[in-house]
Amino acid sequence: MKFTTDDIQHIADLARLELTPAELAAYGRELSAITTYIDQLQSVVITDVTNDGAVSNVWRADEVKSWSEEETARALAQADREGGLLKVKRVL
């Protein structure tokens, strides 16, 4: 498959990646080459049996379990904090 710069920009937007014009051009070339190679899969004949969903959900009870307070404190110690709250960039 051939990717245009617009295609690549669209994928980058979906992936939340800021790319430079040079990166857009390079990924366009590389993804075209890689997907052309991958396209050999289209020739594989899939019967209904192999396409049948072999995957199922596995459930367990949603139980609260306690976690080490010391390890929780270690995790929080790395964040930018103000009072008892985590400080993040303005979102609105």
Site of interaction with another protein (CB under 8 A): 8, 11-12, 14-19, 23, 27, 30-31, 33-35, 37-38, 40-42, 44, 46, 50-51, 54, 58, 60, 68, 71-72, 74-75, 78-79, 86, 88-91
Q: Residue 30 in contact with residue 22, Cβ under 8 Å?
A: no
Structure tokens at 32: 């075209």
Of the chain, the end-to-end C-alpha distance in Å amounts to 39
Residues with Cβ within 8 Å of 88's Cβ and at least 6 positions away in sequence, in order, are: 80
The residue among 15 and 64 lying less far from another protein, judged by its C-beta, is: 15
Considering the complex, what minimum distance in angstroms separates the CB of residue 80 from another protein? 8
The residue among 6 and 30 lying less far from another protein, judged by its C-beta, is: 30
Considering the complex, what minimum distance in angstroms separates the CB of residue 84 from another protein? 16
Largest CA distance in the chain: 61
